[in-house]
Structure formats: C-alpha cells, structure tokens
Amino acid sequence: MTVKERAIAVDKALKGVYPDAKISLDFANPLELLVATILSAQCTDERVNKVTKSLFKKYKTAKDYANATPEGLEENIHSTGFYKNKAKAIRNCCATLVERHGGDVPSTMEELTALSGVGRKTANVILGNACGIPGVVVDTHVGRVSRRLGLTKEDDPEKVEKDLMELIPKKDWVGLSHRIIHFGRQTCKAQKPLCGACPIFKMCLWEGKGERV
C-alpha cells in the first residue's frame, strides 16, 4: 500500500466512524469563529463555548472588540487561560479588521495570516468552516496521528499540511481534519492511546502502538 493509498483508506475508515464530524466550536459568523479559534489555543473547545456564549452577546462586531478595554476583555475570557495574550491578540486583530477590511473577516490565507494572533491553522479553520474554502487544519492531534499513520514524517505543521494536501482530494480536506481531530482526542491520544479499540489499527505504522484486542 502506497502512502497515498493508505491516506485514502484511513479517511474512508474514519468517515465510517465519524460520518458527521464537524468543528466543535460554536459560532454564527466568521468573526465569532475567528475569536473562538484564538481563544481555543491551549484550551478545550468545551470551555471556549462556555465563554463565548456570553462573550458573543456582549461583543457583536470587530469594532466592539477593538474598542474594548484590555481589563474588560481579559475578565470576560479569563477562564480560557493565557487571557492577557489572547485579549491583546483579539483587540489588535479586530482593530486591523476595522482599519483594513471594513470590520469584515477576509477570506484569503494571505490576509488572514496578516492578522494578529492568526497563523495558518487558525486561517484554515476560518476558511474551511466559515468561508467554504477547503484547507487542512493541522493541530497537535492531526500532526501526531498523521505521523503515527505514516502519512508524514514532518514535525512542522505547515509541512504536515502540505503532505496531507498532496495525499487527499481537495474536497475532503476539511472533513479529514475534523475526523482526525475527533480520532486523536478520543482514541489516538498522545498519552495512553486506545490501540485496542482503534478502527484503523492495521494501517498504523507507529512503533509505539499497543496490542490489538
């Protein structure tokens, strides 16, 4: 089985396990997804959703965030961790949206990654889930699982993204990201992966994998 054949087989198998896999963050528009994704850094999506439930009622536009006091925004997002850095990134990011984009979230990789606190991962989340533009989201789960399955040998997220884009049809990029993220969270965990319950155990090339039950 070639790497490409394995990638296609893995995606097909995971489709059977997670047929309705989608992003876990709650949002109603690109701005809300942008803010939620920034808050999700080193924080669970469940926690972020609890915070944004009230946050999105208080701040409705990019201008609202840009004009927010640091102390006020920090207090609102405190429980997501690293709240000072996140508040600064959100305020600066939204100030740029107001100044350069009329308060709207742009829909190109170049424009998105020019915003404060937005890297390729965040940009691909927004493009794929709010703009309908395919992209591969590489977080810690996608990177780890892809290496264990032999779909990439790279550690750098951008290189992992490039490898996966070459292996999987463009129409499946967004779905693949969601499926691997769910799989990485629930089964192929960083510590004590549930190899005995793994639906794609036979395709795994990881030397550290456990026994198949």
Q: Is the distance from CB of 160 to CB of 124 less than 8 angstroms?
A: no
From the list 121, 153, 162, 192, the catalytic residue is 121
* Annotation says 139 is catalytic: yes
From the list 45, 60, 64, 139, the catalytic residue is 139
Q: Among 22, 23, 31, which Cα is nearest to 52's? A: 31
Helix axes 140-148, 157-167, angle to 10 degrees: 60
DSSP state of 209: -
* Annotation says 159 is catalytic: no
Dist CA 47 CA 39 (whole Å): 9
| Helix ranges (DSSP H) in the chain | 3-17, 30-39, 45-58, 62-66, 70-77, 83-101, 109-113, 120-130, 140-148, 157-167, 173-186
How far CA 103 is from CA of 66, 114, 123, 167, in Å, comes to 10, 15, 17, 36
How far CA 73 is from CA of 42, 46, 105, in Å, comes to 18, 19, 20
Q: Which residues are catalytic?
A: 121, 139
